[in-house]
Amino acid sequence: MTPALEIPFGIIVRTTVFLSVNLILFYPATESGSVLILFCSFAFIWLYAEIHCRLPILKGLLYKKEPEIIFDAPYRVQTDYLPLLLIIKDAHWFPITLKEVYLRLSTIEGDFPREFTFQEKCHINQKWFAREYQLDVHDLKGQTILIDCRARVKVGHHERVVHNDNYPQLSHTPLKVYIDPEPLPNAGSLIWGEMHAHSQWTEDQVEFGLLAEYIPSLARAMGLSFAAILEHSYDLDDKPDSWTKSDPTLAKWHTYQAAIATINTNHPDFCLLPGEEVSVDNGRGKNVHLGLINHPVYFPGGGDSLERKWGYASELHYHRVLEQLDDNAMAFAAHSFTIPPLSQQIITQRAAWNFADRATNLTGYQIINGKLSSDVARGLELWQKMLLQGYRYRIFAGNDAHGNFNRFRQVKIPFFKLHERNSQIFGEFMTGVQAAYSNSHAAIIQSLKTKAVIVSNGPALLLKIANTQQSANIGDDLPGSPASLSFHFDSSEYFGQLKNLRILIGDLERHKERLLKNLNFPAGLTHAYQTIPLGDMPKRGYLRAEGLTRKGHIVYTNPAWFH
């Protein structure tokens, strides 16, 4: 028997009042007004499709007496095989028998059809279940393929076929995957990672993440080498059988840490970075999220969890967390400049990071969170101002993905409406670091803090500045004035031929940034390496670059400094 939705009575009352006041003031007599207010109040508060939440009387339109059944696969792979995942959640409430899995692959044009049938006959009664199928696609390189997935299951006394997923209201269309004959561009020395993802330890009434043990296989097929798993602070302190009740022993936190360590031992070719997305007070009574990687101690943060009451300032100010940061850990502002919807600002007291939010132990800002938007442009502008004041904060990119390797399935209005989209996909926006691969948490984190770091959704770009005595890469400091700048701009046919490169110079004496070079590339190029002579340099400053491909894929570098 599934539990009723765990929301304290006070929150229900306050939310009802909030909705009622809005209805009276703004939409006094229209049905469409009621729908709009409900949407504005709840959209984007709870994300990702857990469909078993219910009130004691109201079950809503999403509730089903069967577990969530979802097929997922990377949107792009560069291997000879395609890992495809079947996820079944909450079968401990609704046991099922998985009888057969049928997969049909074809190109968009309908060519090269092939079928795979797996006889399972597997009774499932646990909370989490997953099965990975590795499909041979070595002869489909350069093709975009459609994967039509069907699972024949028996729920109770009834047998049915699930088509790609069993979510109500969604399209159930085939998964789309590009089989890339080329590896991820790396400009010769980059490794790539996902800096903001969630797994099964982020779970509440209407959201859950992917089983962490399957992330390495799927991510490695995409060409990634690491992923930071940032579980919500207000989920990690829950009791195992509750979405809202805190556990003083922190059993969930300790289980999570041990599980990530075991997964890394079993996958020496990929590194999961254990982390926490801590809700912290920004000093104004508002909640912002701090991405914390590889810190050995749990930090509480529940101001925007709605577990006890309407939003309030979280337990710790972000300075308090940062001053306790372990030497082998790192912290960055999560989805830092994304402005929350008005509903979140009112109900959960969430806010964006701002120009004044900075601290010594803060490594930088997650400037991209799954898609390009006006928030990214605003973030770049604020980051530029910080650079010109001499702060050496770095930028990172991630997707806040709860699994979602192929499409994003989301609760849009709790109890009533789901939707899906093709953004916030795992590994779509990546962070590249100039380092040799290592399965060590400490080694990757040290590289993220000190080596060359870029953000991109495909192309790679590295810079080097030099004078007659020395040279410096991104993240380094060159003594003296640079006499030349070398760049390596690298893309592929999938991500697009090179289009434009902007090289920007920051003058720390005048606190101004200007465009130094604007280079347009002829059609047909996917790789460019060039050295540009420099002259009339400021006494202290930095150089950074922004690249664009003909398919609209972008890359931003962090600065190389000189004095």
How far apart, in whole angstroms, are the C-alpha atoms of residue 498 and residue 492? 9
Q: What is the pLDDT of residues 428-474, one digit of tens each?
A: 999 999 998 888 889 999 999 999 999 999 999 999 999 999 999 99
Residue 536 located in a structural domain: yes
Residue 401 pairs in a beta bridge with 197
State residue 243's pLDDT score.
74
Q: Of 450, 476, 499, which one is at a domain's C-terminal end?
A: 450
One domain, residues 262 and 393: yes
pTM of the model: 0.90
- pLDDT tens digits for 279-293? 999 989 999 999 999
Q: Is residue 25 part of a domain?
A: no
My answer on whether 322 and 185 are in the same domain is yes
Report, as ranges of residue numbers, the positions in the chain whose pLDDT lies below 50: 1, 3-48
DSSP string of 353-385, one letter each residue:
--TT---TT--EEEEEESS--HHHHHHHHHHHH
Backbone angles phi, psi at 170, to 5 degrees: -90, 170
Specify whether 204 is located in the same domain as 178: yes
The reply to whether 56 falls in a domain is no
The pLDDT, as a whole number, for residue 29 is 33
Residues 103 and 232 in one domain: yes
Asked if the structure places residue 278 within a domain, the reply is yes
Q: Do the domain assignments include residue 269?
A: yes
Residues 161 and 218 in one domain: yes
Domain residues for 426? 68-450
State the first-to-last Cα distance of the chain, in angstroms, to the nearest integer.
67
User: How many domains, in total, are found in the chain?
Assistant: 2
- pLDDT for residue 460: 98
Residues 446 and 462 in one domain: no
Query: Could you please report the per-residue DSSP string of 169-192?
Result: TS--PPEEEEE-SSPPP-TTTEEE
Asked if 491 and 546 sit in the same domain, the reply is: yes
The CATH number assigned to the domain holding 479 equals 2.60.40.2550
